[in-house]
Structure 1
């Protein structure tokens, strides 16, 4: 029983009580294997951020030449995000000559509908917004395959103006600078480039526990997204030639999200995707609880599982690092029980070094992000000792949340997003989603989940 198991464990730890115990040293090796690639990847990321930011700054005088290229901006809405009015205001200030705004709302009963119509009317009355035309329309046909957002996007893509050369996507929580559209179009029209995007940087205004956990996780996620070529749909532009060549409209018919599903067909059609560091969108949202945060991270990972060819690498990294950290913690706990002080010192010091290096990497990523957004006169809050201390305290919680999310994304057979439950389904060899989304399906949940 329990007594014999404890005796067996005691014998094992007695045999391995030397500091050079096999098990302890193996854990040290695994921790090293886990952290070294992260360090190398971060160094590569910092260099890439620097070079791309310099290239962006060098196009200041040239960029204006793209201002006459016909473009359309698409905003898909379900539920009313707190920042929706500010998003419309930032779009109205775009320094761009020739563009249309296309807004697709889930339905006319959606809370976003009156806010969108009233805000656009007020902006038109009070100032001269930069768009040449704006349309606000409900989702015409609710799909049984693919997500509501992808259906809204398909609705726009199938009715583009014949002159439109670039389509830009924006999320309802993405407040952009007045150079946003000009920058996207200019870079999207470079030779061989089919799509460009920024990304999201979390800078929680109140430094809450969960807001900080999300910010730490997202810092690492940006590095992976950049390395694996995963666009961010909250600030994304696609060249019309490219979206037609890769048949993006057909791809969107069964997909959960628009961004992760773009990269494979885009590459296969011979086009490149480019990340634009200065277009990082600063999100100061702090209002999220730990359970919704875990589900949100799980959904981000699930989109890679469904739509990205390098998902096995993402999953392997998440599972390996989580397993190694868990094994190291368990080893330390058992070492204390059996007074294996040399083994405890070996593994605990290695674990502490791993965590310290991880915090240092987050610090380096933040400084790199700060330099990138400074190119467009946007500033992150200065780093403080208190913030670093919170990172140190909350890094273990972030790693636990990530471990739960990665396992959840691997096991998921369905996913809930803004009140709609989508079933994971296979379509002609490709994974996608299906649902039975009625116009008012769980609209209260959609309103409550505007951060998801």
Structure 2
């Protein structure tokens, strides 16, 4: 009986490894054959870049300056900051001061009218030499005024920004506060929209932690699974996303956001209803260099899976069963290898060990190929990334084993999770349109803002 179990485990893990290989190969094919598409200036639509800020993220200052220096002919940046006393205001001001002769920044502190008043923010002209031939890039910064209780603060901010945008903008772009864009990021993101069948485009993030804490490496490993899943299932990342303004208007997305916890889930639903394509842009694998501990990594993964469970509820049971089947089979197999060796069942131990080895080696090779492809793309953007092989690389096997345990815990918690603490704010999420903000909390440091509780 034990021998049959061992042989079953071997063939099950071999089958899982083969399935992972097929899925990952499809993503690798896209990543390795990527070509950055850059359209001529006259073919590019007018763009509004939307940025929602709460707190001072470590990379915010540099990210803002990068956004202000996009090589794009006609775009404006609209920023919603959580409160008048939010530390992000100082960084926005400093970014503008540090971009002397590169940006024009106005502050709108009124309500829905978006009236512009002075807030101690300087205004200077933009250099067409550095940014293209179009003239001025205007940056509008406003304080969030209408803090809706039926959605996240980020969605409240997006609703406010959407009310500030006029009909002259053809494309709306969502950017995260930790996005480190390169000069042609906006062009590459918007270019595929020249195809009228495409309603939105998105990039994705790849973690390249600077220090290499174990939590950072676990998040890096788990994110690789996310990248493959998001590509195959066409799940957008709202941190680097462009959508046609006409889709936003005609789909009623603004109203949907007033009842949503995140932005990218509702966008996917809106596009699906309108039978428009969602295009992944492989040249926009964006580097994220932040480090985190294991507690934060677990919270981060749980929250991401919770959003998936909320907006892809129909496919969640199959995803849950498959993930638990793979990971639990792998963990149990490892345990049984040790048990069989101690009990003297060498033949059974061999089969268990062979299955675990096949799966482990396959996953390691696939991850290395994904990491190589992502780093290659990031370097093509003109960004620097550390080499693959170093002290961090030696920790990867341990991080992969630990990520199995954390992934199992996170996916189970995400299945039953109701209350989520995100950026210090407590929300109750019972469905895609059933969200309640329970407690605004306080603005905390970035590494402390992703906790979750049941």
**TM-score, normalized by length of structure 2?**
0.87
Distance 1:201 1:422 in 2: 27
| 1:205 aligned residue | 210
More helix by share: 1
Q: Decide which of 419, 435, 439 is 2:437's aligned counterpart.
A: 435
Match of 1:97 in 2: 73
SS at match of 2:48: strand
Unaligned 5+ runs, structure 2: 104-124
What SS does structure 2 have at the residue aligned with 1:46? helix
Deviation at 1:121, TM superposition (A): 4.2
Q: What is the CA–CA distance in structure 1 between the aligned matches of 2:139 and 2:25, rounded to whole Å?
A: 43
Distance of aligned partners of 1:90 and 1:25 in 2 relative to their CA distance in 1, 3 Å threshold: same
Match of 2:239 in 1: 234
Query: Is the Cα contact below 8 Å between 1:78 and 1:446 reproduced in 2?
Result: no
Cα deviation digits, residues 94-148 of structure 1 (max 9, x gap): 1112111100011112221222233224425576445532211111111111111
Shift of 1:386: 4.8
Of 218, 222, 227, which residue of structure 1 is paired with 2:223? Answer: 218
Aligned to 2:27: 45
Aligned residues between the structures: 421
My pick for the range that moved more, 126-135 or 407-416, is 126-135
Shift of residue 244 of structure 1?
2.1
User: Which is further off, 386-395 or 21-30?
Assistant: 386-395
Closer/same/farther in 2, CA of residues 146 and 404 from structure 1, 3 Å limit = same
What is the RMSD computed on CA atoms of the aligned residues?
2.1
Query: Does the 8 Å contact 2:423/2:443 carry over to 1?
Result: no
The DSSP-based 3-state class of the residue aligned with 2:430 is strand
Instruction: Find the aligned partners of 2:376 and 2:101 in 1 and give their Cα distance.
Output: 38
Aligned equivalents of 2:427, 2:449: Cα separation in 1? 17
Could you say if the C-alpha distance between residues 197 and 304 of structure 1 is closer, same or farther in structure 2, counting changes exceeding 3 Å?
Answer: same
Structure 2 distance, partners of 1:433, 1:34, is: 36
Q: Does 1:307 align with 2:277?
A: no
Q: Does the 8 Å contact 1:111/1:447 carry over to 2?
A: no
Aligned residue in 1 for 2:350:
345
CA distance in 2, matches of 1:91, 1:447: 21
Among 294, 299, 317, which residue is 1:290 paired with?
294
Distance 1:447 1:294, change over 3 A: closer
Alignment partner for residue 99 of structure 2, among 117, 120, 123? 123
Q: Is 1:196 matched up with 2:201?
A: yes
Aligned partners of 2:255 and 2:150: how far apart in 1? 12
Measured in 1, the distance between the counterparts of 2:434 and 2:283 equals: 32
Secondary structure at the aligned position of 1:199 is classed as: strand
More deviation, 177-186/325-334: 325-334
- Partners of 2:447 and 2:387 in 1: how far apart? 32
Tell me the equivalent position of 1:180.
185
1:421 aligned residue: 426
Q: CA deviation at 1:448?
A: 5.2
With 136-145 and 126-135 compared, the bigger mean Cα shift is at 126-135
What's the counterpart of residue 326 of structure 1?
331
Aligned residue among 163, 166, 188 for 1:158? 163
* Counterpart residue number, 1:10: none
3-state SS, counterpart of residue 260 of structure 1: helix
The whole-number CA distance in structure 2 between the counterparts of 1:448 and 1:25 is 44
Preserved CA contact (<8 Å) 1:100 1:133: yes
Q: Secondary structure at the match of 2:172?
A: strand
Residues 189-216 of structure 1 deviation map (CA, whole Å, 9 limit, x = unaligned) = 3221111111101111122222111111
In structure 1, distance between residues paired with 2:221 and 2:273: 33
Q: Secondary structure at the match of 2:264?
A: coil
TM superposition shift of 1:155: 1.2
Gaps of 5+ in 1: 1-14
Q: How many angstroms apart in 2 are the aligned matches of 1:211 and 1:372?
A: 21
Q: What is the SS of the residue equivalent to 1:278?
A: strand
Q: Distance in 1 between matches of 2:86 and 2:77?
A: 19
Secondary structure at the counterpart of residue 287 of structure 2? strand
1:311 shift after superposition: 3.0
1:224-283, CA deviations, whole angstroms, 9 ceiling, x for partnerless residues?
110110111111111112222332212212221111332122111121110111111111
Tell which deviates more after alignment, 207-216 or 400-409. Answer: 207-216
Specify the alignment match of 1:133 in structure 2: 138
